[in-house]
């Protein structure tokens, strides 16, 4: 393996600026949507007193989960000594920060009182998982920032392993906290499950790597930098492993519920209901988000194919968003079981499956957060040396020279 040289991307092409402008416009549309929602009140969204968290939360939780997952590539190199991933570690750390920033932008701007962010940052109820998460999110920025610093400043390189280890522990805590937002809710049938925390951790591996792959593959394709089949193949296999792991957790989650009679109703609703959630589960998550990516990642025909790997990543993202929609919206749409064995009706939608129709502003806010994450990443790789000049096999494959190629 030869030493890897990191360089800023040139970033002066028409395409670069057009992409940045497009992302910037999307961020602006997201901000405008947030202003519109704040100005008029949340009645202009599809959210209501039954579905209290909507599309913004689907995007926000997806991005926050993916942020910790994006750090995985760096962890593979620093914590687990997988040297082929080392050249990708700075980008991995960068995307961990930008994706989290995008997710938090959505979450904060969807608050009923976003102007009170300072209250949220200064007044803590330490029994609240949200309060833990605020500490975990802020700490994540700090620790990953330090980790990036140790990676990118040569005389600090010796500390990068230690920093990477702490960042790894922190990201596990962060995703545990995110999963527990739902796992600790005893009131609702679809939540209240300890498995939510580890399930969110494995989901983060898959979603984070998928977003990382999209950016990596697109950037190397558009900048003309070399990306060898060795690394692509390894990342493909890794993505496949993560997707399979998520499937395992999803299967255990549903089997556990299906075993208990009291959960049959909600399982029937999610898995076999005449509603969008069952469609998203079987088509969005299982078929598009799991089976297709697994075939692409493991079938020899697609081995190391950049286009197919990108397709697998996009499918994993589609499946991941489906999963988030099912958990967040589906979990609220199913009526709470206040009176077991009774049919319930009221003026407040008790006992009925509530409908949710997201409106344009909330979708735009979600997309704005995604755009912010990618715009920040795109800008950062232009001004700082995050990306290796070449990721050719000779640069990253430890056995390359031994094979005499």
User: Would you tell me which residues interact with another protein (CB under 8 A)?
Assistant: 38, 40-43, 48-50, 52-53, 111-114, 116-117, 119-120, 123-125, 127-131, 134, 181, 184-188, 332, 336, 338-339, 341-350, 354
Q: What is the DSSP string of 222-268?
A: HHT-EE-HHHHHHHHHHHHHHHHHHHHHHHHHHHHHHHSGGGHHHHH
Q: How far apart are CA 22 and CA 20, in angstroms?
A: 5
The residue among 158 and 342 lying less far from another protein, judged by its C-beta, is 342
Cα dist from 134 to 161, 165, 288, whole Å: 26, 21, 33
The residue among 120 and 241 lying less far from another protein, judged by its C-beta, is 120
Rounded to a whole number of angstroms, the minimum distance from the CB of residue 54 to another protein is 10
Rounded to a whole number of angstroms, the minimum distance from the CB of residue 352 to another protein is 12
The residue among 117 and 218 lying less far from another protein, judged by its C-beta, is 117
Residue 350 backbone dihedrals phi, psi, to 5 degrees: -70, 140
Rounded to a whole number of angstroms, the minimum distance from the CB of residue 254 to another protein is 21
The answer to whether residues 318 and 214 touch, using CB atoms and an 8 Å cutoff, is: no
Rounded to a whole number of angstroms, the minimum distance from the CB of residue 144 to another protein is 22
Residues with Cβ within 8 Å of residue 203, at least 6 apart in sequence: 65, 69, 246, 249, 320, 323
The residue among 358 and 388 lying less far from another protein, judged by its C-beta, is 358
The residue among 36 and 298 lying less far from another protein, judged by its C-beta, is 36
The residue among 116 and 399 lying less far from another protein, judged by its C-beta, is 116
The residue among 251 and 344 lying less far from another protein, judged by its C-beta, is 344
Helix/strand/coil for 365:
helix
Rounded to a whole number of angstroms, the minimum distance from the CB of residue 181 to another protein is 8
Token pair in block for residue 207: 């979603």
The residue among 111 and 360 lying less far from another protein, judged by its C-beta, is 111
Rounded to a whole number of angstroms, the minimum distance from the CB of residue 404 to another protein is 60
Q: Which helix (H) or strand (E) holds 6?
A: strand 6-7
Helix/strand/coil for 325:
helix
Residues with Cβ within 8 Å of residue 291, at least 6 apart in sequence: none
Rounded to a whole number of angstroms, the minimum distance from the CB of residue 359 to another protein is 12
Q: Is the dihedral of CA 12, 13, 19, 21 positive or negative?
A: positive
Residue 7 backbone dihedrals phi, psi, to 5 degrees: -145, 150
Rounded to a whole number of angstroms, the minimum distance from the CB of residue 191 to another protein is 8
């Amino acid at each position: 393996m030869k030493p890897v040289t990191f360089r800023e991307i040139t970033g002066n092409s028409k395409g670069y600026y057009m992409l940045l402008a497009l992302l910037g416009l999307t961020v602006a549309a997201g901000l405008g949507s947030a202003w519109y929602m704040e100005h008029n009140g949340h009645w202009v969204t599809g959210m209501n007193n039954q579905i209290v968290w909507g599309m913004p939360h689907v995007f926000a939780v997806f991005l926050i989960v993916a942020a910790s997952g994006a750090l995985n590539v760096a962890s593979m190199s620093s914590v687990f000594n997988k040297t082929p991933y080392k050249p990708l570690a700075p980008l991995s750390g960068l995307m961990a920060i930008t994706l989290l920033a995008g997710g938090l932008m959505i979450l904060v701007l969807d608050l009923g009182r976003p102007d009170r962010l300072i209250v949220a940052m200064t007044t803590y109820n330490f029994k609240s998982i949200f309060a833990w998460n605020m500490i975990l999110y802020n700490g994540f920025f700090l620790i990953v920032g330090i980790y990036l610093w140790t990676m990118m400043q040569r005389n600090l390189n010796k500390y990068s392993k230690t920093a990477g280890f702490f960042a790894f522990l922190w990201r596990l805590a962060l995703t545990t906290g995110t999963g527990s937002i739902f796992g600790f809710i005893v009131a609702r049938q679809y939540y209240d499950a300890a498995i939510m925390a580890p399930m969110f951790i494995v989901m983060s591996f898959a979603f984070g790597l998928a977003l990382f792959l999209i950016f990596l593959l697109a950037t190397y394709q558009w900048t003309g930098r070399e990306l060898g089949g060795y690394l692509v193949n390894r990342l493909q296999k890794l993505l496949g492993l993560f997707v399979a792991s998520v499937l395992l957790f999803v299967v255990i989650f549903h089997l556990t519920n299906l075993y208990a009679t009291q959960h049959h109703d909600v399982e029937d609703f999610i898995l076999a209901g005449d509603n969008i959630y069952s469609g998203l589960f079987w088509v969005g998550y299982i078929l598009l988000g799991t089976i297709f990516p697994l075939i692409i990642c493991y079938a020899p025909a697609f081995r190391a194919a950049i286009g197919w790997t990108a397709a697998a990543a996009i499918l994993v993202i589609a499946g991941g968003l489906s999963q988030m929609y099912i958990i967040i919206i589906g979990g609220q749409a199913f009526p709470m079981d206040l009176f077991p064995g009774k049919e319930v009706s009221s003026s407040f939608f008790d006992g009925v499956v509530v409908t949710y129709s997201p409106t344009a502003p909330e979708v735009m806010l979600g997309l704005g957060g995604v755009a912010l994450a990618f715009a920040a990443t795109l800008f950062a790789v232009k001004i700082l040396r995050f990306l290796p000049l070449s990721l050719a096999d000779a640069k990253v494959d430890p056995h390359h020279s031994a094979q005499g190629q």
